[in-house]
Chain A
Amino acid sequence: MQWHIIMESLPLYVDGIRTTLVLLFISLASSFVLSVPLAVARVSPNRWLSKPVWFYTYVLRGTPLLVQLFILYHGLAQFEAVRESVLWVAFKNAWFCAWLAFTLNSTAYTTEIFAGALKATAIGEIEAARSYGLSGFKLYSRILLPGALRRALPQYSNEVVGLMHATAIASTVTLVDITRVARDVNANYLLVTESFGVAALIYFVLTFTLVGIFKLLERRFLRHLRPQSSATAT
């Protein structure tokens, strides 16, 4: 073990952590914003709304993220129309492609999670809301979505951890995240265990931090579902 080299490389790892976290948060934020309306469309009785969303999630969940990222980052350069348009500024940028690939991919999974939670709404809640005169936008924004998003928390936390782990793939398109730093340190010093071990440890700490944050969120938002000593079966 040559820990002094790891100690010297620590600033690089800190930069890598920053890249990983920034990538994670911007992708999470955009996929959340996209997947709430998509989930509403996915459960809609209107087939013209629900089928395209089903198709989108099916295709994005059926192909590897690595290939999706390569299509965006390497693939689009094939077309002169893309290279000569204003979009090229964005698509030749690895940050943009990684963000877009992670957002599109995570939106697909998150949409299915939220749609499942919406479908699990108790029928009585909708009946009660309707009898109070709520419908359309208000029914969704006041009753259906708050309940569904709460119920989705445990599964959503899995998706967030999964996305954090998936960001390691950004290291294949020149982004210097935690994984890339480990690969560089390994390439320079040939210390496999130390270089990747530190990266693995960092990811491990990040995983359990995220899991802990979601435990707190669940305690806050799923308080009504916690088993209680005096509770009777319903």
Chain B
Amino acid sequence: MLYGYLPAILEGLGLTLKVSASSLAIACVFGLVGATAKLSHSRAARWSAEVYTTLIRGMPELVLMLLIFYGGQIGINKLAESQGWEYIDIPPFFAGVMTIGFIFGAYLTETFRGAILAVPRGQAEAGLAFALSPRVVMWRIVLPQMVRHAIPGFANNWLIMIKASALVSIIGLDDMVHRAGLAAATTRAPFTFYMAVALIYLTLTSISIFVLSRVEARYSVGVRRVEF
């Protein structure tokens, strides 16, 4: 099947999944930090989060990826040089994942901010009235309830991110699309390979949609639905 290149493509799929999942974890961290910064009392925190989301959302992912991927490596090594450290060789996987995570963190910042605002204030106030610390209120009361509101936006971002993972082939990572390109070049069957990759992506997005709808149902337990 696929001229014997199926195992190679599936290995590429492994990298695609690793890139997407790790980027998602990093994006969640950036998103949560960004959302809390935007909702904080500190004007500096609000400002820097605002600059972060506005800049990132105003530019194409590909350009940002190239800029951060290449520019970030140079920047870190210039810093290392000025500090007298040795040359730091950043693995491309790490750089790619950090880049995508940083970009989608900006989108998740907005998703999480909206979701946190959707949790009724009284929930946090009740927690504080019971003498829980603000941190405990955040982790045990606000965040679990925020999940339900965040899921639709989160699902969208995850789907966009799986598809954006195809772009890492341009910055030289050996993902599914890159491998399909190599296989296509040797077999002269580009249609077959790119179609196969498209089908795998479609399967991934379909599974994601299914799983996320189940997660949403899980976190909506006890919520009464509006009936029209």
Contact = CB atoms under 8 A, between A and B. Distances in A.
Contacts of A179: 60, 62-63, 66
A186 interface: yes
A136 interface: no
Given A71-B198, A208-B58, A66 B63 contact: no
B59 A67 contact: no
B195 interface: yes
Interface in A33-86: 59, 61-68, 70-71, 74-79
B150 to A, nearest CB: 19
A165 B167 CA distance: 13
A168 B202 contact: no
A207 B59 contact: yes
Contact of B163 (A64, A192, A193): A64
A178 B181 CA distance: 24
Contact of A172 (B63, B70, B170, B205): B170
Contacts of B70: 186, 192, 196
B74 A59 contact: no
A200 B54 CA distance: 12
A71 B195 contact: yes
A25 interface: no
A107 interface: no
Given A75-B191, A196-B63, A62 B202 contact: yes
Interface residues of A, number: 40
Interface stretch (B21-29, B37-45, B135-143, B182-190): B182-190
Interface in B193-228: 194-195, 197-198, 201-202, 205-206
Contacts of B189: 78
A154 to B, nearest CB: 14
A21 interface: no
Interface residues of B, number: 39
Interface string A163-176: 01111110110000
B166 A64 contact: yes
Given A62-B205, A66-B166, A67-B197, A192 B58 contact: no
A167 B55 CA distance: 18
Contacts of B181: 70, 74
B67 A192 contact: yes
Interface of B: 55, 57-64, 66-67, 70-71, 74-75, 159, 163-167, 169-170, 177, 181, 184, 188-192, 194-195, 197-198, 201-202, 205-206
